[in-house]
Amino acid sequence: MDVSYILDNLNDEQRQAVTSEKQHLMVLAGAGSGKTRVLVHKVAWQVEALRKSPSSIMAVTFTNKAASEMRSRIEELLQSPAMDLWCGTFHGLSHRLLKRFNKEADLASGFTILDSDDQLRIIKRISKELNLDEAAWPSRQSQWQINAWKDDGLRSSKVKDNGDFFKETIKNIYKQYEEVCIQDNLLDFGELLLKSYEVIKKNEVVRSYFHTRFKTVLIDEFQDTNSIQYKWLLEISSKDASITAVGDDDQSIYGWRGAKVENVATFTKTFKGSETIRLEQNYRSTNVILSAANALIENNNDRLGKNLWTEQLEGENIVLYQAYNEQDEARFTADILKEWMNKGELYEDAAVLYRSNAQSRALEEALLRSSIPYRIYGGQRFYERLEIKNAISYLKIIFNHSDNPAFERSISNPTRGVGEKTLNKIRSAAKKFNISYIKSSAKLLDEGVISGRGGSGLRSYLELITTCREIAETNTLSELMEYIIQTSGLYAYHGKEPGEKGKTRTENLEELISATKNFEQSVADSKKNIEIAEDYLDMISLDSGDRQASEYDDAAQLMTLHSAKGLEFKLVIMTGLEESLFPHGRSMDSISQLEEERRLCYVGITRAMQKLYITYAESRRLHGADTFNPPSRFIKEIPTKFMDEIRPRAQTTTAYTRRDFASAKETKYKVEDEIGYALGQKVLHPSFGEGIVLNYEGTGEAARVQINFDGSGTKWLVLSFAKLEKI
């Protein structure tokens, strides 16, 4: 039988990986090197050339989408269905195993899989039964810790608390949670893996079944495996089974959620005599982009090592743009996307990448102003995020006591002892007397209808709203917003959410303070604080009407660098490459975390197929405060010969010094061309004296500039009336 078609269109290394007769194989597949192609063709080779039954092959992936795509491509190559092939995620295959061997796993046949919300509800109930205060022992934190222990293969009985009160308490919750799940025949996602691992390890019948059946095991994205997944793989594979692991240690970016990059190196130690094949030919990017990526990642230690190359064109140099601030960076991004579209390209072939979700706010505003359709990949727009909606609900109820939805959201976030029973009383009284919920609350408190914990929580809430309204009279919008976020408990409430989620939510809340500060600086000085706040709420409402583009619209893609993994785009703009932002400040004291940040940068660079822009800002309003961080070390690790730098001619030590921008030949993005003044331009005003141009918005007669005056502070002025003189 002619099987040459399986090897057609494969390069030498890919062909070697597909046909390797080594029992154990590690394929180090660089970005864009065709790893999925290798996996698909290796399965086909096993079936057609080696005459193995599809039922003897197991292929493990990390997402249902990837599993579906792999199966589809295998069947297309074989020109026949492969129904007996086990192809799926760790969790999907574990579920299949437990369904088949439920009795051996001490499970009823109709066991239920818990989603994250259901799991949280059970943990909350247990915490309440143990008389644990939710504020001191957040259920989400307990949930995260329990799942982390499961990922490490630990039952509650195996957790060592070492006299640590925190661990001891969470361990007790875990024990009770296990008992509930056993009693009610429930399995969470972590339990699927842990239970299936245990039953294979302990039950000879189950182990024999899998060891007899599966002769070939293939696993994708091996660098993203955690402890229990690695153990599961070892248990399900017999000593005679052939194991192929495909991964890239340079793209391991999920250490924060338990992934062990060291599993890649451990594989070759566990399986003595295993073969390692490197896929280094890239089919995605230009040589310039790959050379930059190679130079960057070489700064990491303990790599297994590879060097990406391509037969494609040399390509254009990477463009490095030094922005004045985050607004300048966002406007530059919008300008590049417009230019891209004007060349006849599609928006959907362009991606804007950032390290932190909070960075999207300034970018979104610039794209909306420029009428550029966009989509937040795998996420929500800034003002649609949960923590932002929670904070804004306080602002709404402060200025509109009749806003009942805002009342319900704000009084419930964070929780303050006002439960559904109390809320029903408030709703009923409001309906009966035709008054707002907030007036209804005050009435019921005065009448003593609501008392106890609910009454105490309600009273403190009403006092907070009253205080905030008073503060709004004499303080700026940003000061009010900061007071709300801190005093309401929102910052602490969202900060207690475990892992990266809590950090992301608090960063977004801090960015909201920056957003309000930017807004108040953009309105007329004559407006009162309350008017400014009301204008801001109007702006948000109008903005919410501009929805994201649908999945079928041509739209630019905005996403975090983590979300970008596995994707590719003709044009990529990587923003915010400054120290403490990227690499993130949390990684600065840890070599391993810093190296993961560098791998993340490597992932970002290698998403670009044709053109790559990298931007950083001299000053950035971050987390509610102005920061002046130097350019990211990652920029310095890319050889200058691969970059064309757009930057001021003269280097400055402060943000507010005159800057003469490079020529229009170097960049089409010139503020001076639009408004007649460069950012950093010194000017003289007849009343306010000397100042520096910081920012601008609008064009023509509507154009306004933000100027920092030496003696009068920062002001926004309409250019057509300002009577400014260049110095």
**In terms of Cα–Cα distance, which of 111, 197, 181 is closest to 146?**
181
pLDDT grade for 559, boundaries at 50, 70 and 90? very high
Q: 616 near 332, Cβ under 8 Å?
A: no
- Calculate mean pLDDT across residues 196-207: 95
Q: What is the pLDDT of residues 580-599, one digit of tens each?
A: 999 998 888 889 999 999 99
Give the Cα separation of 447 and 458 in Å (integer). 14
Three-state DSSP class for 560? Answer: strand
Residue 648 has pLDDT above 70, yes or no: no
| Type of residue numbered 258 | G
The sign of the CA dihedral 673, 675, 676, 682 is negative
Q: What is the pLDDT of residues 508-531, one digit of tens each?
A: 999 899 889 888 877 766 788 888
Pairing type for strands 186-187 and 112-113 reads parallel
Interacting residues of 591 by C-beta distance below 8 A, sequence separation 6+:
301
Tell me, rounded to whole angstroms, the distance of Cα 350 from its chain centroid.
18
Helix (H) or strand (E) holding 112: strand 112-113
Mean pLDDT for all residues in the chain: 88
Q: What is the pLDDT of residues 257-283, one digit of tens each?
A: 778 888 898 998 899 889 999 999 999
Question: What is the reported pLDDT for 538?
Answer: 76
Give the Cα separation of 535 and 542 in Å (integer). 11
Catalytic center residues: 35-36, 220-221, 251, 607
Tell me, rounded to whole angstroms, the distance of Cα 510 from its chain centroid.
17
Q: 709 near 691, Cβ under 8 Å?
A: yes
Question: What is the reported pLDDT for 669?
Answer: 41
Give the Cα separation of 195 and 97 in Å (integer). 10
CA 382 to each of CA 361, 375, 379, 385, 416: distance values in angstroms, whole numbers, following the listed order? 6, 12, 9, 6, 26
Question: What is the reported pLDDT for 598?
Answer: 97
Give the Cα separation of 145 and 149 in Å (integer). 6
Only one residue has tokens 């985050």, namely 326
**φ, ψ of residue 172 in degrees (nearest 5):** -65, -40
Give the Cα separation of 442 and 391 in Å (integer). 22
Question: What is the reported pLDDT for 466?
Answer: 93
Report how far apart the first and last C-alpha atoms of the chain are (Å, whole number). 83
The sign of the CA dihedral 646, 652, 656, 658 is negative
Q: What is the pLDDT of residues 40-66, one digit of tens each?
A: 999 999 999 999 999 999 999 988 888
Going through 478-623 in order, the beta strands assigned E by DSSP cover 556-560, 569-574, 608-617, 620-622
Beta bridge partners of 275: 25
pTM over 0.85: no
Three-state DSSP class for 275? Answer: strand
**φ, ψ of residue 416 in degrees (nearest 5):** -140, 30
Q: 123 near 146, Cβ under 8 Å?
A: yes
